[in-house]
Amino acid sequence: MAWIPAKGTLSRRTFLTIIGTATLAVIILAITFIGLLENNEEALSEQRLSDELSFFVSQLDTPEQSRRLTAQYFDIYYQADTQSAMPLPPPFQELSSPFDPENDEITIDGREIQYVVKALPTGKVYAIQDITAMEEAEHLSLLSFAIASLLILLLSLVLGMLSSRYLTRPLTQLTHAINNSKPRHRLNPIETDYSEAELRQIATAFNGFLDETQQHLKRERDLVNMASHELRTPIAIAHGALEIIEMRDNLNAKDKATLQRARQALEEMQQNTTTLLKLSRGKTNDEPMEWESLNKVVRQVIEKLALPASDTARVTVQADADYRIHTNLNMLNMLLNNLLRNALQHSTGQVTIRLSALQIEVLSDTAFQLSASQGNGLGLFIVNMICERLGWELCQPQDHQGVCLLIPQSVAPTGAASQ
């Protein structure tokens, strides 16, 4: 129901606590009320019957003769021992014999009757009291109490709903304020002007956490910026040195192959440095989102890697359609570039890039750990940063033979893929 707070919330717990307390109070009150009502009704009726019986016995002037007294609610009959052989007049014939004081109420002709039988030295006295009116009054009292209890429960239901909302409103406001404090270049503190001391303490503690997080993020950005700037100069110097060595043209075939590997490693370092610098500065957010063929992007990444012939032969692309994706193309190129390099460097055998509507898989014949602490850690660090920026999920199969990119938005196929 809409007016009942959702499960697993503090509002629901408060609501159920109020309803449970009210219900328990009504149950205890009902037990107490019914018990008191029964005891009072029984004591009053027995007292009235006992008084009438005592008065009747005191007025017996001829104990050897039977006598009867009839009133509005009482009917008393005295039967002398000398006339015990005579049957009792109605309705005294309905009374059980022997008399049981624990079960002294019977129904005669639709009327509730309370009776008592008392033995005298000269005979027996049978007393009947009509307690129908008292029973009806008791039932009316119970009905009134039931209606009052129902009203109390309904009122507690409404008060529970309103109270749960009122009591948890400040906490809900604090929760919304915390949810709105999303990681940005600047983490704004939340308000602490709550009237409740506990909420003020929570808000103050959270602001302290935000301040420490802000300082940590600032140190991390400063470190990445500084490292990126410091690396650009030696990379440029190394590039120049390699070009000079190549211009001298006095290298044999093996030296030229070594020089080519050094150039590829240097270009990879330069690309990683540039990517880190962009990600740390948040410049990638300013780049436009475009629709492009995913198959085409993958082929371009493979071509731009300028892989040796042995590595190129290891790469296979599988797709049952020509998928189009709407994303930041520069970041997608960086992502695929680092994943493919990581798979080629840290696995053996064939590397398969499998494209589908909701994921991109880079699979290998052998297993390797998807960990930034092993192998090409910087590349995987960049991959994770790009996935976070794009809102994608990076995972690995249980056999560790590759990685998967889970894309939350649909990728539209435009036709059969051409390999």
Split at pLDDT 50, 70, 90, the class of 306 is low
Residue 148, pLDDT score: 92
Q: What is the rounded average pLDDT of the residues 34-42?
A: 87
Mean pLDDT within 275-294: 70
Q: What are 378-389's pLDDT values in tens digits?
A: 667 778 878 877
Residue 286: CB atoms within 10 Å: 9
Nearest-10 crossing angle of helices 377-390, 329-345: 150
User: How large is the C-alpha radius of gyration of the chain?
Assistant: 47
User: Which residues on adjacent β-strands are paired with residue 120?
Assistant: 123
For residue 402 the two structure tokens come to 């590759």
CB 301 within 8 A of CB 315: no
Mean pLDDT of the chain: 79
Q: Is the confidence at residue 418, as pLDDT, over 50?
A: no
Q: Which of 266-270, 309-313, 319-323 has the highest mean pLDDT?
A: 319-323
Report pLDDT for 151: 93
pLDDT at 204 over 90: no
Q: What is the pLDDT of residue 27?
A: 93
Domains and CATH numbers, the chain: 10-153 (no CATH), 197-278 (1.10.287.130), 288-413 (3.30.565.10)
Helices marked H in 180-196 — which ranges?
Answer: none
Instruction: Please give the angle made by the CA atoms of 99, 101 and 104, to the nearest 5 degrees.
Output: 80
Amino acid identity for residue 216 in this structure: H
Inter-CA distances, 370 with 343, 353, 385, 403, Å: 10, 16, 14, 8
Dihedral pair phi/psi, residue 99, rounded to 5°: -70, 130
Q: What angle do CA 269, 332, 312 make, to 5 degrees?
A: 65
Q: Which helix (H) or strand (E) holds 43?
A: helix 10-58
**Confidence band of 364 (pLDDT split at 50, 70, 90):** confident
**Residue 407 pLDDT exceeds 50:** yes
pLDDT value at 176 more than 80: no
For the chain, the farthest-separated pair of C-alpha atoms sits apart, in whole angstroms, at 156
| Across 184-213, average pLDDT | 77
Among 155-169, 179-193, 359-373, the range with the most confident prediction by mean pLDDT is: 155-169
- What was the pLDDT predicted at 280? 66
Q: Please give the share of the chain, as a percent, with pLDDT higher than 70.
A: 86
The predicted model gives 267-288 an average pLDDT of 68
Amino acid symbol at 283: K
Q: Which of 261-265, 315-319, 382-386, 412-416 has the lowest mean pLDDT?
A: 412-416
